[in-house]
Amino acid sequence: MRRGRFTGYWLMLPAVVWLGLFFVIPFLSLLATSLYDPEGSVLTGYDVTYRFANFTDALGEFWQPLWRSLWYAGVATAICLVLGYLLAYAIAFKSGRWRTLLLVLVIAPFFTSFLVRTLSWKLILADDGFIVDALQTVHLMGEDGRLLATPVAVIAGLVYNFLPFMVLPLYASLEKIDGRLIEAAGDLYASPTRGFLKVTLPLSMPGVVAGTLLTFIPAAGDYINARLLGSPNQRMVGNVIQDLFTSTGDYAAAGALSVILMVIIVAMVMVYIRKAGTEELL
Amino acid sequence: MSLAADSSRSLRLTALTKEFSTFTAVKALDLEIPAGKFFALLGPSGCGKTTTLRMVAGLDVPTSGTIHLGDDEITYAKPYRRPVNTVFQNYALFPHLDIHENVAFGLRRRKAKDVDEQVRAMLELVELEGQARKKPPMLSGGQQQRVALARALINRPEVLLLDEPLGALDLKLRRGMQIEIKRIQTEVGLTFVHVTHDQEEAMTMADTIAVMNSGEIEQMGSPAELYENPRTTFVANFLGQSNLIAGTVSNAGSDVVKVDMQGTQVSIPADRAHVTSGPGWVGIRPEKVLIAPEGEPIDAPGNHMQGGVVTDVSFVGVSTQYLVRMPWGQELMSFEQNTGARGIIPRGTAVDVSWRPEFSFLLPASQDVNAGAVEES
């Protein structure tokens, strides 16, 4: 049988249908929502009026939670990177026969619900919890100081919840590094520190890029941590969007804010990948 | 071009031992490698040669014993603090750096001057000046091998270690690289320590070969010395091939040792007889064994034996390899150059066998006659 010149395209069909149904159509629908007439309501219905001012209105009104989201997600990602790199490095190079067990432990939290895990942080950080007690006992925190309802609590929650997304890609790229390359660096006069900076770290960049993206993107859009561990002062853009959609019924503003968040993240990711220079390593 | 920083320092291993949890890889090894020599550690896989190399490089820590370079002890020095560089098996080139930066790596770590200039000169030496900006995976195996060599050589180490550097190359390329590496060694005059399991490679390249077996050195010497006068059955079988025939010493003189070998009296020069009484193995290399159809003259005065029958003939171009069954049941190997002086002797022919006594050697009967022989597969 002769292979037609369109065979390749036919093979792409399932993926194209999937993307069309679950990405392109919902995205166009969201885009349409962002251009609704803001006067509409659940009762009166909504019309697409191509009102681009929705975007500037949303930015003007909600720039603070938007900025806060990027800021919290950035800090959480940085902390995840440091903790995750140490953990992934230890598992990849130093764990010996404990390797599988440690990897299972990294994934183990996923067996419990995201909500339950975040709620338990509420107990850990509670005003009469042991962490606050301990900090007050050593006078690192005042008598009426608290962790809950502060940025610290929200960022701690984000770090905890997204750490596995950092560890796994980092581990995957560290584990792939040929140990002889590190030996070769030592043989060629690189101290362990130099060898790490010149060989191990550059070779693990694909994992660093993948891990930071997998952490930053969901963290920036997260609303559970701010909702459960924060106060209105820690509202993130996800909380705003959720309120606009479900309580206020302001679909136009909610849609506009969603599109803005998406555009910002895509732009940041593109600049980041360009800067990290890892296209060919990915 | 001379790269040797100080060519008067020899590498000395004293009672060097490496034990792993379940076995001893290297047993009380004593070895002195003079500066500027091309030295080969030859042995089958698992004989401890790579472990020895790794201890010299500082990548493995010895269990006991010492390593000296000249008067300096470097037994426990960190790998990045010793003037020793390694060409790794499979090269271990840095995949994220281009060829130029791979070669510059050691110089940059030591903050050398004129790095780019030196790298260019080194790439010229290994004939890769056109590939400087390519990444390692874009190069062929032979080119990668030369990058690995350049990356180590440019640091002007006192000792350059080569760990099976040609193992990943195909046969033709390997022959070419052997000559190339030997040429570079002569040019730069550094001490090369080459680990290999390929006896032909060791003989082609090295000034001195140490044959290793089970963590110990069996014999050390020039390729010709080891080949012509092996001292153990392992060396006789591992370095080339040997016919080993059971015999008993009948008379040990100061010049020759006479041996009764399956009813024939053979004379072995005293310096090649490593047994002076009792039973032993009479050894003779296959190319020294001459055969001729029964009754025809053979140009080899000495041990003349009759009653052989050709049982196998392999024509391999430059030579013909015969197996001859002797009256005592053993099959002897005989390699004959295809000079065209005579046709190939067909299988089943009755032949006479002979060799010059000065080519034979005598080994202790206590040694395993099959030690070091390539197993038939």
Strand order in the sheet with B319-325: B290-293, B350-355, B303-315, B319-325, B331-337
3-state secondary structure A42-80: CCCECCECCCCHHHHHHHHHHHHHHHHHHHHHHHHHHHH
Given pLDDT bands bounded at 50, 70 and 90, which one contains residue B376? very low
Domain locations along chain B: 11-228, 241-364
Count of structural domains within chain A: 1
B111 contact A CB<8A: no
Q: Does B88 contact A191 at a Cβ distance shorter than 8 Å?
A: no
Q: In what order do the strands lie in the sheet with B72-73?
A: B24-33, B11-19, B64-69, B72-73
The yes-or-no verdict on residue B49 having pLDDT over 60 is yes
Helix (H) or strand (E) holding B40: strand B38-42
Identify the bridge partners of residue B39 per DSSP, sorted by sequence position.
B193, B208
Domain-located, residue A59: yes
Give the list of residues 6+ apart from residue B340 with CB closer than 8 angstroms, or none: none
Contact A248, A177 (CB under 8 A): no
Looking at the whole model, is its pTM more than 0.90?
Answer: no
Q: Which residues in chain A are contacts of B151 at CB distance < 8 A?
A: 188
Domain presence at residue A202:
yes
Residue A41 forms part of a structural domain: no
CATH among 2.40.50.140, 3.40.50.280, 3.60.20.10, 3.40.309.10 for B241-364: 2.40.50.140
Q: How far apart are the first and last CA of chain A?
A: 37
Alpha carbon distance A132, B305 (integer Å):
99
Q: What is the pLDDT of residues B355-369, one digit of tens each?
A: 988 899 999 999 998
Whether the CB of A274 is below 8 Å from some CB of chain B: the reply is no
Write the CB contacts of A261 (distance below 8 Å, at least 6 apart in sequence): A66, A69, A220, A221, A237, A241
Torsion-angle region of B63 (φ positive above 0: left; ψ -120 to 50: alpha; else: beta): alpha
Looking at the partner chain, which of A181, A187, A191 has a beta carbon nearest the beta carbon of B94? Answer: A181
Determine the residue of chain B that is closest to A189 in CA distance: B80
Chain A residues in contact with B110 by the CB 8 A cut-off are 189
* Size of the A and B interface in Cβ pairs below 8 Å: 60
Give the domain extent around A253: 54-276
CA-based max dimension of chain B:
76
CATH number at residue A144: 1.10.3720.10
- Per CATH, B11-228 and B241-364 having the same topology is answered no
Q: What are the pLDDT digits (tens) for A147-183?
A: 999 999 999 999 999 999 999 999 999 999 999 999 9
* Distance separating alpha carbons of residues B26 and B45, to the nearest angstrom: 13
**Exposed, middle or buried by CB within 10 Å (0-12, 13-18, 19+), for A95?**
middle
pLDDT category at B8 given cuts 50, 70, 90 is low
Query: SS3 for B124?
Result: helix
Q: Could you tell me which CATH number the domain at B11-228 has?
A: 3.40.50.300
- B82-137 pLDDT, tens digit each: 999 999 988 999 999 999 999 999 999 999 999 999 999 999 988 899 999 999 99
